[in-house]
Amino acid sequence: MNGELSFFELGVGDVARARDFYGALFDWEFVDEGNGATIETPNIPGGVHPGDAGASPYVFFRVDDLKAAVERVRELGGDTGDWAETDDPDAAARFGRFVLCKDDQGSPFGLHEPPR
């Protein structure tokens, strides 16, 4: 459903340490995905990626049409960075499409269009 929480992402300095910490804290299971990992939780799925310590967590809201949602963010005075409609087809098929945004006051959030 449009607007529901869809995904979260944790930016960390070291993915292995994050797996140890959050795995011990919450009993989460991790699946390695190249540089980062997906997080198997009992409710909202998540991910962890390196090189972004202290700048997260990112909360992603589900949208049915990412391109239309990006346009709407911009119309409302928000920022979608340099997002352009280009995707890695394999990643989009597995995880969907994502974009990090800022609202009209500069607060970060993300949009997520799940795979079809």
pLDDT digits (tens, 9 = 90+) for 80-110: 988 776 667 777 888 889 899 999 888 888 9
Mean pLDDT over each residue of the chain, to the nearest integer? 88
Q: Where are the beta strands (DSSP E) in the chain?
A: 5-12, 29-33, 36-40, 46-50, 58-62, 97-102, 108-113
pLDDT score, position 37: 94
Percent of the chain residues past pLDDT 90, beyond the cut:
53
Q: For residue 57, say if its preceding peptide bond is cis, omega within 30 degrees of 0.
A: yes
- Taking the domain 5-113, which CATH number applies? 3.10.180.10
- Under 8 Å between Cβ of 109 and 103: yes
Side chain identity at 24, as an amino acid letter?
Answer: A
**66 — pLDDT class (breaks 50, 70, 90):** very high
- Exposed, middle or buried by CB within 10 Å (0-12, 13-18, 19+), for 34? exposed
Which tens digits make up the pLDDT trace of 10-40? Answer: 989 899 999 999 999 889 999 988 889 999 8
pLDDT score, position 85: 67
